[in-house]
Amino acid sequence: MRRRAGSLASVVAVAAIAATAGCTEVEEAAPHVHQPAHLEPIDGSDLQKVRFDQRAADQVSLRTASVQRHGNHTVVPYAALIYDGQGTSWVYTSPEPLMYVRARVDVARIEGGRVLLHDGPSVGTAVVTTGAAEVYGAELEIAGGH
């Protein structure tokens, strides 16, 4: 019996040495994380250009519409209007495909599904109508956690 106990102790000791001998810090490769938007600073401004990739734009169904004219006012769809934490009103313009820039607007009044502006982007400017909240979140670097 004494011999068995010694054999078992030897096996345990060899297993412990084998287990610790090869221990080194292993760095796991981080899985590729899709970055749907990239930010570009705008010189002389606190704002940033938000550039989405096509996959992200499709995922949130980003859509735009053109700023229109109604009497003395420029008009944007109500869906384009967003407010920041201080209550300032904004829209996202799209100066080129998949690029979005926040533009401050001065709301005269809201009539149903449209917003009449005292001041804002010029007639013909593309503004985001679907996905503005997602663009805003991307600009503020708020992750969705999906």
* Selected residue with higher pLDDT from 96 and 12: 96
- Residues 80-90 as b or e (16 or more Cβ within 10 Å = b): bbbeeeeeeeb
- pLDDT tens string 74-106: 999 999 999 999 999 999 999 999 999 999 999
**Helices first, then strands: H and E counts in the chain:** 3, 11
Model confidence at 33, pLDDT cuts 50, 70, 90, reads confident
**pLDDT at residue 64, as a whole number:** 97
Task: Write the CB contacts of 30 (distance below 8 Å, at least 6 apart in sequence).
Answer: none
Residue 14 has pLDDT above 70, yes or no: no
Residue 18 has pLDDT above 50, yes or no: no
- State the pairing for strand pair 63-66/68-70: unpaired
* Selected residue with higher pLDDT from 89 and 5: 89
Structural domains of the chain ordered from first start: 37-139 (2.40.420.20)
**pLDDT at residue 131, as a whole number:** 95
**pLDDT at residue 87, as a whole number:** 95
